[in-house]
Amino acid sequence: MTVGRYAFGLGRRLVQLLAGAPARGHPLETGPTTPIHAPDPSETEPSMTAEIDVNDPHYRRMRLAAMLCEAAELEHSLTCQYLFAGFALKREMTEGLTAAELDKVRGWRSTIMLIARQEMEHLGYVNNVLTALGEAPHLVRPDFPLDPAFYETDIDSKLARFDFETLKRFLLFELPERMDHETLKTMTGYFPGLDFATIKTLGGLYTSIAKLLQLCEAEAKEKGETIFIGPKWAEAMTGGSNIENLRPGVDGQMSIYGMNLKPVLNLEDAIHAIKQVLEEGEGAPEHIEGSHFGRFLEIAAEYDRLLQDNPGFDPSRKVVDTPVSKVGYRGVQQKHGTVIEDPLTNKVSLAFDLAYNSMMLMLFRFFMATDEDEADAKAIEDSVFFPVMTVVIRPLGELLTELPAKPGGDGMAGPGFRFDRRIALLPHRTAAFKIIYANLMALNAALTEVAGQMPNQQLNDRIDFVTQNVWRIAQNFANATGIGGEAQ
């Protein structure tokens, strides 16, 4: 049996199933020693899925899938929020930072980018579990801003520049279920009067998912069945043939740039995946260093110290909250958020929307493998991770934070990560690839239209670079999938 396709631009290769591999340890109890019981509904109450009665055995599996979908949306949403905050951080001393402040801010930016990458990994893990269960990977999400009640997380989901309030939101998103005394004291300083036990956390959702996975699999086993019925080859992992080419001897799955996505073949793998997600996110009470929560806590301490030294310290550009493109004839105007009124900025914002749209169409095809062959799958992988995320999404997103949201206004724009309703699985191979190619070429045209119009040479150079790279990505994709493209 074979398993896996590689994420993060690193090729697809069929590898041997991990049969016979040594069992991994996992702290979330599983196996015969685990008492099997239905989770307390109060432990598993994400709002979107709460209407499904977990005590009814017929619906438990359905509830599990719904909870995974909710986790996927949250991970996806967190990725966008973290990226937005990271993109908006200041880069130069000319933006009003001292050399020492700038170095701290650069470190924060690096940390936030790492956390965002790991949120992508978590999204990949959730989708691997869904695939393993035979369900559809979940890549859709609602647009920003979101009412806290949408997920009952008690935390706003919005695109906002990095300041202390944003940092506090991030701390709550990654809040551990338990904290040691010292951490609790620090957190109480940031959130006076808040009873952290009342906060519904992402970690809590994952813990509930783990319990439900164990319960459903145990019930299936009693009938001689399993809930892990999905195609193994459709799952994603980090590593791949490009890595093998670069580093002979490296075989298959591996960690890359802080991401370590593994296939989920059975309950043990699923629990291991959740353990990894929890450790990377909230950490453990006795060991939060290196977790997202611990990293945000470190940033908060540094931020505090810098503010004490310089009360005027402001690490990020004055980017407006949740910028949204003015869509005109191109679609339905989003009603919430800050509409970008500057015509030139809006063109770049629309281009970003199109880039994000194209990336998502590729990710749908990547995670929901249907009729691609291996070469097709590799073509998607070689496009959508490195380089679309690195030489298109990030540069355009950063560039928007240097452009005004309104003519003559103080506020700057930023990437809206608009999830329009055309983003869905394109189910038919050739048509899908042609549409993706057409979108990329439309993006190339949209960027060509704004060439030379940026407020300074550095931004013009960045636009030119992205424009060139989009063209190349489109051609590489077309050539690799055999749908044509322009001659080189």
Q: Which residues bind another protein (CB under 8 A)?
A: 9, 91-93, 98-100, 102-103, 106, 109-110, 113-114, 117, 242, 245-246, 257, 382, 386-387, 390-391, 394-395, 458, 461-462, 465, 468-469, 471-473, 476, 488
Residue 385 has which token pair? 């991770």
Task: Say which DSSP state 331 is in.
Answer: S
C-alpha 299/C-alpha 139 separation (Å) is: 30
Q: Which is nearer to another protein, 87 or 144 (CB)?
A: 87
Q: Which is nearer to another protein, 99 or 149 (CB)?
A: 99
Task: Please give the backbone phi and psi of residue 410, each rounded to the nearest 5 degrees, phi first.
Answer: -80, -35
Beta bridge partners of 146: 157
CB 393 to another protein: min, Å? 9
Q: Which is nearer to another protein, 2 or 110 (CB)?
A: 110
CB 386 to another protein: min, Å? 5
Give, rounded to a whole angstrom, the gap between the first and last alpha carbons of the chain.
39
Residue that has been written with the tokens 């590689």 in this structure: 6
Q: What angle do the packed helices 267-281 and 292-309 form, to 10 degrees?
A: 10
CB 302 to another protein: min, Å? 13
Contacts of 368 (CB under 8 A, 6+ apart): 136, 137, 234, 425
Q: Which is nearer to another protein, 107 or 189 (CB)?
A: 107
CB 427 to another protein: min, Å? 28
CB 209 to another protein: min, Å? 29
C-alpha 3/C-alpha 103 separation (Å) is: 43
Contacts of 125 (CB under 8 A, 6+ apart): 261, 264, 273, 274, 276, 277
Task: Please give the backbone phi and psi of residue 237, each rounded to the nearest 5 degrees, phi first.
Answer: -155, 160
Q: Which is nearer to another protein, 39 or 240 (CB)?
A: 240
Residue 457 has which token pair? 């040479």
Q: Which is nearer to another protein, 245 or 333 (CB)?
A: 245
CB 389 to another protein: min, Å? 9
* The residue type at 119: E
CB 296 to another protein: min, Å? 17
Q: Which is nearer to another protein, 42 or 488 (CB)?
A: 488
CB 259 to another protein: min, Å? 10
Contacts of 48 (CB under 8 A, 6+ apart): 66, 69, 70, 150, 151
> Do residues 157 and 77 touch, judged by C-beta distance below 8 A?
yes
Q: Which is nearer to another protein, 106 or 326 (CB)?
A: 106
